[in-house]
Structure 1
Amino acid sequence: MCWQYSGANSKSSVEMKRLTRVFLDDDEYKREDMRVFDDVHEKRLLKEYLKDRSNLFRMENGWRCSSVKIRLPKEKVKFASEEAAPEMEIMGVHHCSLTDVVRSVFEDSIMSTFHLMPFRQRWEISEGHTMNVYSEAYSSPSFLEAYEEINALPRDPGDNLERVVASLMMWSDSTHLASFGDASLWPFYLCFGNQLKYTRGKPTASACHHVAYIPNVSPVRDLSS
């Protein structure tokens, strides 16, 4: 209480409780460390740590940085083929491996809520008259066809593993990065059609997975060369 009511007057009861929880954490808080604690030294160490650790696109998190070459049109110019059109290289494209994302999701406990076996939905309007109902990706004709296709493939001796379809749904839109200024980029998100659409629509479900970030391209004045 002496600490809370002395010094700066911006220490609330919530901050007091948070400090108490720090003291009670036997794994993180060591009283002997305070004997040599120097806030200037620790802030300098933290600054050095954040130079690398604050970068969310680290390779250890599965991110890669590549360049992409694209062909561009030129106003009032007709090219004999796409290969003859001017080429532009986009640097700094951060992306993840789709295989790694699929594997990590299917190894997560959320996979227990996925629909792995497709089915058809029909509405019996009247006797002898039914109508197909299209509601979820895992009940769509494409999902059913893919499921039948992969299960019709030949198997190696001793292969009795279940074969399922991972329905990948890609989505992208421009994202504004700053409250002031015009910094923005194009993130690519991946959702799984195996998941109930009502779950995918909940922000708290964390159902969207980041797979790529495309930087904005500066305008090019002359593409004739």
Structure 2
Amino acid sequence: MCWQYSSSNLISDAAMQRLTTFLDDDAYNRNDVKIFNPTREKRFVAQYLEDHSNPFSARNGWKESSVYIRLPKEKMKWPLEGDAPELEIKGVRHRSLIDIITEVFEDGAATTFHMTPFQHMWKVSEERTIKVYSEAYASPAMMDAYIEVNSLPRQADDNLECVVASLMMYSDSTHLSNFGDASLWPFYVFFGNESKYTRGKPTASACHHVAYIPTVSCFQIA
């Protein structure tokens, strides 16, 4: 309690409760506290992120690239967009969509996917029928894509089924700490071939990580 009230008035009871879980962990060693140095530990964390064994390593399909964006400036005009100043955003971690599609479709969860789209119709009466819009795999866009894919020229010995992988992208800012403004913009992908009721269950693991975009700080262009 002394630690909670003396360090900051922003430490919540929930954060205090989380601290007790660390103290009760079998890996906690009281002697380690005597030599603890936050600067050194952060350096260890950075080294771990560079290690191939971490979840964001290339062995797990992750790549690190830079993104270049053109910057506007007030009261300034350029003949072409390519003449505007360019800002390099480093440290963008991302995965290949092809790798994600292959991984998901080879997984057992794909057995519940709807590979052939269809339409839902509600026959209100003998005179009236209403088209029902519910699932992505029952949408007109999915039906059009399925027809287009199966209309493409194929090899004579190609007898495999052609299906559409319906990708639904989502992104939202995520805070990296309980206190402070450190954040990232993660990108996720869901599969429209899967029922929305399954996608809504956290235990279904229907959300797949695609990329993590670092936050860009605002500044003035000279």
Task: Confirm or deny a common fold (TM above 0.5).
Answer: yes
Q: Deviations over 1:65-119 (max 9, x none)?
A: 0001111222232333322222111100000000000000000000001000000
Give 1:71's aligned amino acid: R
CA distance in 2, matches of 1:104, 1:54: 20
Query: CA-atom RMSD, angstroms?
Result: 2.4
Alignment pair present for 1:143 and 2:159: no
Secondary structure of the structure 1 residue equivalent to 2:124? strand
- Which residue number corresponds to residue 123 of structure 1? 122
Give the superposition deviation at 1:54. 6.2
* 1:42-77 residue CA offsets vs partner (Å, 9 max, x unmatched): xxxxx89x8326632100010000001111222232
What's the CA shift for 1:219?
A: 2.0
The answer to whether the aligner puts 1:218 opposite 2:217 as a matched pair is: yes
Sequence identity, in percent? 61
Alignment-derived partner of residue 152 in structure 2: 153
2:90 maps to a residue whose letter is: M
Give unpaired runs (5+ residues) of structure 2: 1-24, 27-31, 33-43
- Partners of 1:205 and 1:152 in 2: how far apart? 34
Match of 1:102, SS state, is: helix
Counterpart code for 2:209: H
Task: Work out whether residues 52 and 59 of structure 2, in 8 Å CA contact, stay in contact via their aligned partners in 1.
Answer: no
Q: Which residue of structure 1 lines up, in the alignment, with residue 6 of structure 2?
A: none
* 2:62 matched residue in structure 1: 63
Secondary structure of the structure 2 residue equivalent to 1:99: helix
TM-score, length-normalised on structure 1?
0.74
Say if 2:70 and 2:84, in contact at 8 Å, map to a contact too: yes
How many corresponding residue pairs?
Answer: 181
Q: What amino acid sits opposite 2:194 in the alignment?
A: Q
TM-score with structure 2 length normalisation? Answer: 0.75
Show the 5 A alignment for 1:25-174: 51=48, 52=51, 55-174=54-173
Higher mean C-alpha displacement, 62-71 vs 177-186: 177-186
Amino acid at match of 1:168: L
Q: Which has the larger radius of gyration?
A: 1
SS in 2 for 1:186: strand
